[in-house]
């Protein structure tokens, strides 16, 4: 009885932990603006994060300011936010403060900003055979990308540029991640910054404590 109860408690605690802190392993950015439709998929793998870029339309040769270099794309630090304004995504994801003084080198990622996916893996080059501006599927694994920590791609955004100009963007939505609630303008209230999942965690821990107390009484 004692062992069975202990095993039940451990299983319950494990379940509660799994429910409140899911591992972040999968994210998607779906761009659909300015005639550009593209999906960027991110999956955690042993060597980093596997990235799949699927451009369905919009990146035509006619649109490209520089036809040979095509379109750049990056992970930017902030989400797009209301208004679909790509400017609000801020700078490139660059936790190590590499900057752009020294150009990113495909053979030496130490020179590249973490979010500079185009610099590390190549730009999105228009396909002259596609009237709608679709591209062949692009796939690679990037060892610098991560779902957690300072360099997390979680809660960020993807931006596509045309010779520098931001032309399309979307939030990088990671399964299981709940973004902190934005602080309402004009308030400085600390309660307004409480993460939405904190309440769920509290309820979970209260329920677990009650369950343990109940099991102790029956021992
Ligand atoms: Cu960018």
pTM of the model: 0.75
Flag the least confident range among 6-15, 17-26, 32-41, 87-96. Answer: 6-15
> Is residue 206 very low, low, confident or very high in pLDDT (cuts 50, 70, 90)?
very low
CA dihedral over 64, 125, 144, 28, signed as positive or negative = positive
What is the whole-number distance in angstroms between the Cα of residue 86 and the centre of ligand 1?
Answer: 9
Say which residue, 15 or 166, is predicted with more confidence: 166
What is the whole-number distance in angstroms between the Cα of residue 72 and the centre of ligand 1?
Answer: 7
Tens digit of each residue's pLDDT (9 = 90 or more) over 27-70: 999 999 999 999 999 999 999 999 999 999 999 999 999 999 99
What is the whole-number distance in angstroms between the Cα of residue 177 and the centre of ligand 1?
Answer: 23
Query: Between vectors from CA 47 to CA 46 and to CA 49, what angle results, nearest 5°?
Result: 90
What is the whole-number distance in angstroms between the Cα of residue 47 and the centre of ligand 1?
Answer: 24
Q: How far apart are CA 59 and CA 122, in angstroms?
A: 15
Of all residues in the chain, what percent carry a pLDDT higher than 90?
68
Q: How far apart are CA 31 and CA 138, in angstroms?
A: 16
Flag the least confident range among 3-12, 32-41, 114-123, 156-165. Answer: 3-12
> What's the whole-number average pLDDT of the chain?
83
Quick one: pLDDT at residue 118?
Answer: 98
What is the whole-number distance in angstroms between the Cα of residue 167 and the centre of ligand 1?
Answer: 10
Q: Hey, is 49 helix, strand or coil?
A: strand
What is the whole-number distance in angstroms between the Cα of residue 184 and the centre of ligand 1?
Answer: 27
Quick one: pLDDT at residue 187?
Answer: 55
What is the whole-number distance in angstroms between the Cα of residue 91 and the centre of ligand 1?
Answer: 7
Average pLDDT over residues 180-208: 49
Nearest Cα neighbor of 134 from 66, 56, 193 is 56
Nearest Cα neighbor of 119 from 136, 135, 133, 98 is 98
What is the whole-number distance in angstroms between the Cα of residue 5 and the centre of ligand 1?
Answer: 54
What is the whole-number distance in angstroms between the Cα of residue 23 and the centre of ligand 1?
Answer: 27
């Amino acid at each position: 009885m004692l062992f069975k109860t202990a095993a039940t408690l451990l299983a319950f605690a494990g379940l509660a932990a799994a429910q409140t802190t899911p591992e972040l392993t999968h994210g998607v950015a779906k761009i659909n603006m300015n005639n550009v439709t593209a999906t960027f998929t991110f999956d955690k793998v042993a060597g980093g994060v596997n990235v799949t870029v699927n451009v369905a339309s919009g990146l035509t040769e006619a649109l490209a300011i520089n036809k040979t270099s095509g379109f750049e794309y990056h992970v930017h630090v902030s989400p797009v936010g209301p208004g679909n304004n790509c400017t609000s995504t801020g700078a490139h994801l660059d936790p190590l403060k590499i900057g752009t003084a020294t150009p990113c080198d495909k053979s030496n990622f130490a020179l590249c900003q973490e979010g500079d996916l185009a610099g590390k893996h190549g730009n999105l080059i228009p396909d002259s055979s596609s009237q709608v501006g679709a591209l062949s599927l692009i796939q690679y694994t990037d060892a610098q990308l991560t779902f957690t920590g300072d360099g997390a791609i979680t809660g960020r955004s993807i931006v596509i540029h045309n010779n520098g100009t931001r032309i399309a963007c979307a939030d990088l939505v990671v399964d299981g991640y709940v973004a902190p609630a934005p602080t309402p303008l004009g308030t400085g209230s600390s309660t307004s910054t409480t993460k939405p999942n904190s309440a769920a965690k509290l309820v979970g821990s209260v329920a677990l404590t009650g369950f343990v107390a109940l099991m102790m009484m029956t021992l």
